[in-house]
Structure formats: structure tokens, C-alpha cells
A and B are shown apart, each in its own frame.
Chain A
Amino acid sequence: MLSQAEALARQGKPHYIEIQGASYEGLTVWINAMVLSAGGRILSDDGQRVVLGAPAAKGVSVIGQLARSPAADPSLGVQMEDQNRLAFETGKAAFEINYPFVYPSAQADVPALARQMGWAEYPRVDANLPSRPPVGGIDLAVSAFSQHKEQAFDAIMCLRNKENQLRNAIKGGLPPTLASLYKDPKLIKGGYPFAAEIFDSLQRGGVRPKTPAYQSVSVALQNTLYPPSVAGPGRLGQLRSQLQDAIESKGLIP
């Protein structure tokens, strides 16, 4: 994807790769996806040890590579999902790595451009390893202290029922959690033509590090590898010690 973008740049055509590079959770998502796609991981499964290692070095260097290439949007360092969407809709970009909400938005805002939109799986870091797309989501829960547990539960069942998930997917791009919906023509024809790819992506998806100190871990990642142009293997030593402090809840977080 990078070489394609660079080729486009040489031809003077729109060539940016839009991705979230601001110092926030989205950057952690990107870093995590790169590390996982390179075959490594950030923390061990139980969240007690920092792993990183050679695959992390590879994943992280890709980030730096993109940020320093002509494919990077100059605003990369302040872009979140929404800014990526806006930049793409103005036609300045060739590629965009974002959540599916951009599709209904483009259909509504810039129909002419939306007709030319295509999609592909999350880009690979290593040509031989399948990519691990980021998985996130919303959890719905009933408080144990609630005085209306029944109604809350009913509300949840309603919120995540088939019709509502269909509607959320088509209007807001939110991938459904009901597997049966992905084969449903109402979804695919209704405005979610990439249902199959999303389903595959979710099967291969990579979750973020599991630890009670997740916020600190995320902030440590955002702090060390920001702006994206400085991301590289040289930063891993500093990252390792910050992550170790984070999972032990030692000291201040930036």
C-alpha cells in the first residue's frame, strides 16, 4: 500500500493514506494492530510481563515509515477517526484506514466520491502473515446495584436485537455482533456490501493488551511513539521500561 501511495504521489494525484495518528487511544489501536500483525504482542496474556521483541520492532518501524513517507497526511499527528473521514471526503486521500462508519457518511456527504470507494482487508505488515485488524466494541451491562434489573436487561436485549443492529450497521457503519446478520441480504444489499470482509476481519481480529492498568499502558504507548514520525525500534527500550512501570502502577503517567 505504501509503494502504491508513493507511486501516486509521484504522479501528482491524491495519495495520502489516512490513518489515526493523534496522541489518543486510536494511536494505541494502530500500534497494537501493527505489532500483532507482525506476529508479536505488547504484553503477555496475563498482562504481567512486557513482551515486545523483534516483531514489535518491525511493526513499529512500519508506523514510522508511513509517517515519514509522502503518503502521510501532514495533519497525521492530530487526526482521529473523524478527521480522517473528513480528509478522505474532500478527495485528498487515496487510502483510508478507518472504521466502517465512513461508508454511510460518504454516501450521504459526497455521493460521487462514494461511488468510487472500494475496500480491502486491513493491511499486512508481513506479506506472509495475515493481518490482525483491531477489534473494539461496546459492552452493555446491568449494574448489580440497579433497582430495575429486569427492565435494564430487557432494554439491553432490545438494543442489540436484529433490527437495531441492522439499522446501526446501515446508518452508522457499526459492525453487528450477530453472526447471522452477515449472511443476510438485507444487510449486504442495504448498504453494507463489505459484510463478508468485516466478518473475516472480526474472526482474525486482535484485541488490545489485557491488564487492569490498561489506561496507563495505552498512555505509555501514545507517549513514546508520538508523533508517529519518530516511531521506530530505537524507541522500544524506553517503551519497555514505561510499560513495566505502567503495569506495576509505579510513578506518574504522562
Chain B
Amino acid sequence: MSTQTTSTRTPAKVASWTVTNTIVIIVALVPVLWLASLSFKDPSTIADGSFLPHRWTLANYRGIFQTSLFTRALVNSIGIALIATVLAVVVGSMAAYAVARLRFPGKQVLVAVTLLIAMFPAISLVSPLFNLWRQLGLFDTWPGLIIPYLTFSLPLAIYTLSAFFREIPWELERAAQVDGATPMQAFLQVIAPLAAPGMVTTAILVFIFCWTDFVFAISLTSTGASQTVPAAIAFFSGASQFQTPIGSIAAAGVVITIPIILFVFFFQRRIVAGLTSGAVKG
């Protein structure tokens, strides 16, 4: 945890923090609770306008797990998002380290091109990408989604990570090398732990991007082999072609938020590990 003076933990401070936290949590979570409420509402009362369901039912949840559409999509989502996240952090770290620490020609062009790529509207890339993937046999496969996700999360990954690498003082690396460590060891044992907040932040952002992406998921998948949850939700249907199955959509929305909550809760401690004082002094 950050080096924080805990000596001033007065009751007044605790109280004010509790109030602040409560307000923040309420504002952040009320729409999510509304979603949960919609998912528990009996279908006939969906339009009744009240925040809490008058009639509770688990039918929506039962419904989405009845077919393999949703469960397969969950598996796909988790797998694809995790792999893409790991790859993005690894590949991004390598590039970010090079950008932040090393001198080589073409660096500025690289940064510019990276940004260029992040800027093109995804929807217009979808048709040519679909064509390309179809010809390469990547359509409806896990790599078929992982590669675009990697591509579009690398710019942010590189920017965030290089900002962190930049902040780490040279002396540490020099010191490690003087102590006989190879560059790889210096990186793994000295730099990486210090850049951990950056890596965790990047990991969270990339994971969420892959988890919630809709455009590529819809266009580059078609069966349970690789359809992720947002795409599967788009194929939910109600009793007839006209009914928006808001109950099922809400239930699915709640179910897929749970992994996010777990992922974030697990990693949030590491987001704010600041540079430990003392490593640099002297």
C-alpha cells in the first residue's frame, strides 16, 4: 500500500470518508442495481416504473443458462480477454520499455503510427477485416478476435506503460547491472515491480476493453466457437421477433459484470503501489 500517514485517523476523518465513499458507491452502482432489478422483475411487471421489483423471479437467469449460447459465450469471453490482456501487457511492455529507455531511429514514427491506429473508427475497419479473416481462416476463431483486440489496445498500453517506465530512475538499473545482473534480470527484478502499478492499470483497461467490445465481436464471430458475451446478447430473442428480451439482457448483463468485479477487486490493491521511498535516495 502507499506510504500513508495513518496517524491522523480521527473519527471525524473516518466519518467524512465513509460519507464520501457511500455517495460515490451509490452514484456508481445505482444504474447497475437498476439493471439487476430489471433482471429480477417478473416479465409482466417490467414496465411498471418502480425501482425495486414488485414480483421477483429467477426466470430470466434460468432462461439464459438453459441454452449453451450464453455459457459458451462466457467461456469465450473469459479466455479471449485473458489471453489478449496478457499479450497486450507483455508486448506493450517491451515496446514501452524501448520507447522510454532506448534510443533508436524511427521511435517518433512508431509513436505517431501507434496513435494513428487508435484513432480510426472501428466500424469502418470491420468489413475489410471480415474479408481478410475469412480468407485467412481466422473468422470465428479465438485468434481472430485476440489479434484485433491486441491491435487496438496496444496504443493505450504503450502510452501508459512508457509513462511508468520513464519515471523509474536510471540508477536502479545501473545499480542492478553493477551488481552483475543481466539486462533481463535487471528488468524482471528491479524495473517490473516498480512499474507494477502501470502494468496493472494497463491490464485492467485492456481486459475491460476486450470484455465489453461489441463491434468486433459481432462482426468477426458467428457461432459458439468464438462468440463473446456482448455478441451473444445481441442474439437473445424474446417470445417473438418484436420483443426486446430486456429481462434476459439485464440478467446477462449482471452475470457478466461479476467477473469484472472480481478481476478489479483482485487487482485494485496493486494499482497504487507508489515508488517506495528510499529506493532512490542517496
Chains A and B are bound partners? yes
A80 within 8 A of B: yes
Q: How many residues of B contact A (CB 8 A)?
A: 12
| Most A Cβ at <10 Å: residue of B46, B48, B239 | B239
| Residues on the B chain within 8 Å of A83, using CB | 47
Is A181 an interface residue when CB atoms closer than 8 A count as contact? no
Complex-state Cα separation, A55 to B108, whole angstroms: 65
Contacts of B48 in A (CB 8 A): 90
Q: Which of A127-173 contact B (CB under 8 A)?
A: 171-173
Considering the chains assembled together, what is the distance between the CA atoms of A89 and B243 in angstroms? 13
Interface of chain B, helix or strand or loop or mixed? Answer: loop
Contact with B along A6-39 (1 / 0, CB 8 A): 0000000000000000000000000000000000
CA distance A87 to B48 in the complex (A): 9
Task: Determine the chain B residues whose CB is within 8 A of the CB of A171 once the complex forms.
Answer: 239
Check: A2 CB closer than 8 A to any chain B CB: no
B47-A87 in contact (CB<8A): yes
Contact A105 B47 (CB under 8 A): no
Most buried by B among A86, A101, A104, A171: A86
State the B residues within 8 Å of A (CB). 43-44, 46-48, 238-244
Chain B CB within 8 A of A126 CB: no
Residue A85 at the chain B interface, CB threshold 8 Å: yes
Knowing A86-B47, A90-B47, A110-B44, the reply to whether A104 touches B239 (Cβ < 8 A) is yes
Choose from A86, A101, A104, A108 the contact partner of B46 (Cβ within 8 Å). Answer: A86
Interface residue SS majority, chain A: helix
- Does A119 touch B at the CB level, under 8 Å? no
A200 within 8 A of B: no
B242 partner residues in chain A, CB cutoff 8 A: 80-82, 85, 99, 101
Complex CA distance for A101 and B238, rounded to whole angstroms = 11
Contact present for B44 and A173 (CB under 8 Å) = no
Inter-chain CA distance A173–B240, complex, in Å, is 8
B46, B238, B243 — most chain A CB neighbours (10 Å): B243
A82 and B43 contacting across the interface, CB-CB below 8 Å: no
Output the least CB separation between A218 and chain B (Å): 17
Is A174 engaged at the interface, CB distance under 8 Å to the other chain? yes
Residue of A nearest to B242 (CB): A81
Which residues of chain B are within 8 angstroms of A121 by Cβ–Cβ distance? none
- Tell me if A101 and B47 are in contact (CB < 8 A): no
Q: Are A109 and B240 in touch, CB under 8 angstroms? A: no
A172 touching B47 by the CB < 8 A rule?
no
Bound CA span A110–B43, Å? 10
**Residue-wise interface mask of A (73-107) relative to B, using a CB-CB cutoff of 8 A (1 in contact, 0 not):** 00000001111011101100000000101001100
Contacts of A104 on B, CB cut-off 8 Å? 239
B243 and A85 contacting across the interface, CB-CB below 8 Å: yes
Asked if A101 and B44 make an inter-chain contact with CB atoms under 8 angstroms apart, the answer reads: no
The residue on B at minimum CB distance from A100 is: B240
Contact A82 B238 (CB under 8 A): yes
Contacts A99-B240, A101-B242 aside, 11 further interface pairs with beta carbons under 8 A come to: A80-B244, A81-B243, A82-B243, A83-B47, A86-B46, A87-B47, A89-B44, A90-B48, A101-B241, A173-B240, A174-B240
Name the A residues within 8 Å of B46 (CB-CB): 86
User: Shortest Cβ distance from A92 into chain B, in angstroms?
Assistant: 9
Query: Do A82 and B244 form a contact, CB below 8 Å, given A87-B47, A89-B47, A109-B43?
Result: yes
**Could you list 24 A-B pairs, sorted by A, with CB under 8 Å?**
A80-B244, A82-B238, A82-B242, A83-B47, A85-B243, A86-B46, A86-B47, A87-B47, A89-B44, A90-B47, A90-B48, A99-B240, A99-B242, A101-B240, A101-B241, A101-B243, A104-B239, A105-B239, A108-B239, A109-B43, A171-B239, A172-B240, A172-B241, A174-B240
